[in-house]
Structure 1
Amino acid sequence: MSAILSSLAAFIRERLPQTGARLLHAVQSSSSGYASIPADELRPALQRSVETICAVFGDNNAGPLNEWAPYIGERRARMGLSLDDMMSVVSGIREFCWQELTEFGSDRLTIGDVRQFEDAISEFNRLLLLGYSQAMLTLQQELHDQAEQIAAQQQTIRELSTPILPLYEGILVLPLVGAIDSFRAGQIMERLLTAIAERQSDIVIIDITGVPVIDTAVANYLLQTARAAQLIGAQVILVGIGPEIAQTIVQLGVDLRGIQIGANLQAGIELALSQQGYTIR
C-alpha cells in the first residue's frame, strides 16, 4: 500500500466531520427514500461508509467494508428503500470520494493509486447492492410465504363458515351464516356437491336463517346448487326463509319449484326424516 494512499485516507477521515454534511445533503437531495431518514441517523452511516472505503485503499484492510456494506444494504432494503434510492447513494458516495481526491490533489497519485482508489469505491458499492438484493429476495420470499399462509387461513375460514354436517344416514345439513357473494356461493356449491357424492346423501337441508340478505345473484346460486344436487340424486330442503328474504324472493321472481320449503331447521329435519321413513318421538 503506497504512502500517498495512506495520506489520502487520513486526509478524507480528518475532513469528514465537516464534509459529512455535504455528503448528507447530496444524498438526501437526490433520493426521496434517504430524505425520509433522520439526518442524525443517516449522517453517521454515510461517514462510516466512507471510512470503510478509506480502510481498503489506505490501510489495506477490507474487513470493515466486508462487514458494513452488506449490512447497511440489507438494512436499507428492510426499511423499504427502492433500487433507485440505492443507486443514488452509490453515485453520491462515489462523487464525494472523487471530490475529496481532487481537494487532496489528484496529480499526486499514480495511475495505479487511482485504480486502487476506484476499486475500493466499486467494491463498497458492489457489496452494498449485494446486501440489498439478497435482503430483497429474502423479503420477497417472506411475503410469498405470508401470502400462502393468509390464503390457507382464508381457506380454513371459508370452510369453517360453510360447514356441511351429516345429520343422519343419507341426510346432510348446510347452515349458511353471513353475507354470501358470488365467490363464496361458488365454493358452497362445490363443497356441497362433493359432500353429497362422498356420502351418497339423499337429502340436503340448506338453512339460510343466518343469511341477512339475498339478492338476485345469491338466489340464482342457491337455485343452481339445488338443481345440481338434484342431478346427482339428492333432494333439497330450504329452511330459514325470513319475512324480508321471502319478500325479496317474490319480488325477484325466483322459481323455487322442485325445492321443498321448511319454516325452520326443526321443520326441515322432521321433513327429511319423514322422507326417509323415520319419525321423531
Structure 2
Amino acid sequence: MEQYEKKITDFIIMHREDFQNKLLSEAVEVAAKINDILRSGNIDLLKNAEKLVTYVVERKETELTSFAQQEGVAWAEHSLTLTLKLEWVHAIRRTLWHYLFEYDQLNTHGLSISDYRESFFQMEKRINDGIDKFLNGFFISYSAYKDELINAQRKMVEHLSVPIIPISPHIAVLPLIGVIDVYRVHTIEEKVLTDISDLKIRTLIMDLSGITDMDINVIHHFQRVLSGVSLMGCEAVITGLRAELVRKMIHFDVSFDDQASTKGTLQQTLAEYF
C-alpha cells in the first residue's frame, strides 16, 4: 500500500506544472493574491500545497499535524484572511481528486469492479480525513495564536492604564480612571508591587477620583493590594474617593482605613507633601 501511495505522489510531482495550473484555476481569488502572500508572509502556497498533498496521500500524520500548526501560526501572524485559506484548501482537495482519477485511469485496468470500488472508498475516506485533519489543526493553531496575541495586547493596554508616576525619589502617584474589573485589579496588583520594588517607592498616592464604582469583589481584592503595598514597606495614600463608591463601602461595611490613609483630593495631598 505504501508503494501505491508513493506512486501517486510521484505521479503528481511528475505533472507538477499541470497540477499547479489546475490548482490555480480552482482557486481564482487566491491565485490573484498568491504573489502578494509570498511577499508579505513569505508563504509559498504552491510549494505548501504539494507538501500537504504528500503528507495526506502518504499518511504522514505526524508531519501533517506539525505542518497544520505551522500554517496556522504563519497565517495568523501575517493577518491573512481565513476565507482565502478555505478556498485554497478546498481547491487542493478538488485538484488532488482530479489527479487521483487521472492516475487510476492509467493504472487500475487489471482490477475487478468490486476491488476498484473498495479501493476507491478506502482512498476517499483516507484523503478526506487527512485534509479535514489538516484544516482542524490549522484552525486550532490559528485561533490559539490570535487569542495569545489579543491577550498580550490587552495586558499591554492594561499596564499602560496603570501609570505610576514618580514625583520625587521616593514618592509616586497612581491616577486610576475608568472601570476596575477583576482582570484590571490583578494588573494593578502586579504593576504596583513590581514598581514599588523597582522604583524604591516609599509613598504611593492612589487617586481614585476617576473611578465611579467598583464591584464588591474588586473592593475586597483592592484591599489585598493595599495590604501588599504595606507589606513592602510602602505607605499607601488614597485620594478622591467618590460618594457613590463610599456609599457602597458603607453598605457592605468595608473600608481602606487599616491598609491606607485617605485624603480628600490629589491636589491637597500633593500640597501636603511638597
Normalised by the length of structure 2, the TM-score is 0.56
Task: Name the % identity.
Answer: 21
Task: Calculate the aligned-residue CA RMSD, in Å.
Answer: 3.1
Deviations 1:163-190 (A, max 9, x none): 2222221112122222222332233123
Q: Which residue number in structure 2 is paired with residue 263 of structure 1?
A: 264
Q: Which secondary structure state, in structure 2, belongs to the residue aligned with residue 253 of structure 1?
A: coil
The alpha-carbon distance between structure 1 residues 54 and 193, as it changes in their structure 2 partners (threshold 3 A), is: closer
Cα distance in 2 for partners of 1:239, 1:233 equals: 20
Q: Which residue number in structure 1 is paired with residue 211 of structure 2?
A: 211
Shift of 1:261: 2.0
Cα distance in 1 for partners of 2:142, 2:215 equals: 40
Cα distance in 1 for partners of 2:202, 2:103 equals: 80
Matched-pair contact (CA < 8 Å) for 2:207–2:239: yes
Matched-pair contact (CA < 8 Å) for 1:53–1:120: no
Deviations 1:74-128 (A, max 9, x none): xxxxxxxxxxxxxxxxxxxxxxxxxxxxxxxxxxx98645424432443343222
Q: Which residue number in structure 1 is paired with residue 188 of structure 2?
A: 188
Cα distance in 2 for partners of 1:161, 1:198 equals: 18
Is 1:168 matched with 2:168? yes
Matched-pair contact (CA < 8 Å) for 2:176–2:206: yes
Cα distance in 1 for partners of 2:118, 2:178 equals: 66
Deviations 1:223-259 (A, max 9, x none): 3222221221111110111222233333333333352
Matched-pair contact (CA < 8 Å) for 1:170–1:202: yes
- Larger of the two Rg values belongs to structure: 1
Cα distance in 1 for partners of 2:214, 2:94 equals: 65
Shift of 1:215: 4.1
Is 1:233 matched with 2:230? no
Cα distance in 2 for partners of 1:232, 1:113 equals: 82
| Structure 2: unaligned runs, 5 residues or longer | 1-92
Q: Which residue number in structure 2 is paired with residue 69 of structure 1?
A: none
The alpha-carbon distance between structure 1 residues 47 and 214, as it changes in their structure 2 partners (threshold 3 A), is: closer
Q: Which residue number in structure 1 is paired with residue 177 of structure 2?
A: 177
| Structure 1: unaligned runs, 5 residues or longer | 1-45, 62-108, 274-278
Cα distance in 2 for partners of 1:137, 1:264 equals: 55
Deviations 1:29-48 (A, max 9, x none): xxxxxxxxxxxxxxxxx999
Cα distance in 2 for partners of 1:149, 1:137 equals: 18
Q: Which residue number in structure 2 is paired with residue 158 of structure 1?
A: 158
Matched-pair contact (CA < 8 Å) for 1:164–1:175: yes
The number of residues matched between the two structures is: 182
Matched-pair contact (CA < 8 Å) for 1:239–1:262: yes
The alpha-carbon distance between structure 1 residues 119 and 208, as it changes in their structure 2 partners (threshold 3 A), is: same
